[in-house]
Amino acid sequence: MAWSYRKRIKIVPGVHLNFSKRGISTSIGLRGASLNFSSSGTRLNTSVLGFSNSYQISGSSSSRSPQPQNQPLPVPDYHRNLSDNIFSADIHEITSQDMSGIKESILVAQRQKIELETDLKKIKKALSFSKTKKIASYILIYGLINKKVVQTINQDINAQKEAIIETKIVIDNSAINIDVQFDDPTKRKYERFYNAFKNLCTSHRIWDITGAHFQDRVAARSNASTLVNRRETKLGLKSLPIIKSNYEALYFQNINGADLYFYPTFVIMYTNNQNFAIIGLDELNLMTTSVSFTETSSVPRDSKIIRKTWAKVNKNGTPDKRFKNNYQIPVVQYGRIHLSTSTGVNEEYQMSNFEFTKEFGDAFQEYKNLCRAIEMTN
Which comes out higher in pLDDT, residue 355 or 155? 355
Residues 6+ apart with CB under 8 A from 92: 275, 277
What is the per-residue pLDDT for 311?
84
What pTM was computed for the model?
0.70
What is the per-residue pLDDT for 1?
35
Q: How confident is the model at residue 192 (pLDDT cuts 50, 70, 90)?
A: very high
Q: How confident is the model at residue 221 (pLDDT cuts 50, 70, 90)?
A: low
Separation of alpha carbons 64 and 376, rounded Å: 12
Flag whether pLDDT at 21 surpasses 60.
Answer: no
What is the per-residue pLDDT for 327?
87
* Residue 365 Cα to chain centre, angstroms: 18
Separation of alpha carbons 196 and 354, rounded Å: 12
Flag whether pLDDT at 371 surpasses 80.
Answer: yes
Instruction: Find the mean pLDDT for residues 333-348.
Output: 95
Lowest-confidence region among 129-143, 237-251, 297-311, 344-358: 129-143
Flag whether pLDDT at 57 surpasses 70.
Answer: no
The Cβ of residue 349 has, within 10 Å, a number of other Cβ atoms equal to 25
What is the per-residue pLDDT for 219?
56
- Is the C-alpha dihedral spanning 348, 281, 64, 45 positive or negative? negative
Mean pLDDT of the chain: 77
Which comes out higher in pLDDT, residue 196 or 145? 196
- Which tens digit of pLDDT belongs to each residue from 134-183? 787 777 666 556 667 778 888 889 999 999 998 888 887 777 888 888 88
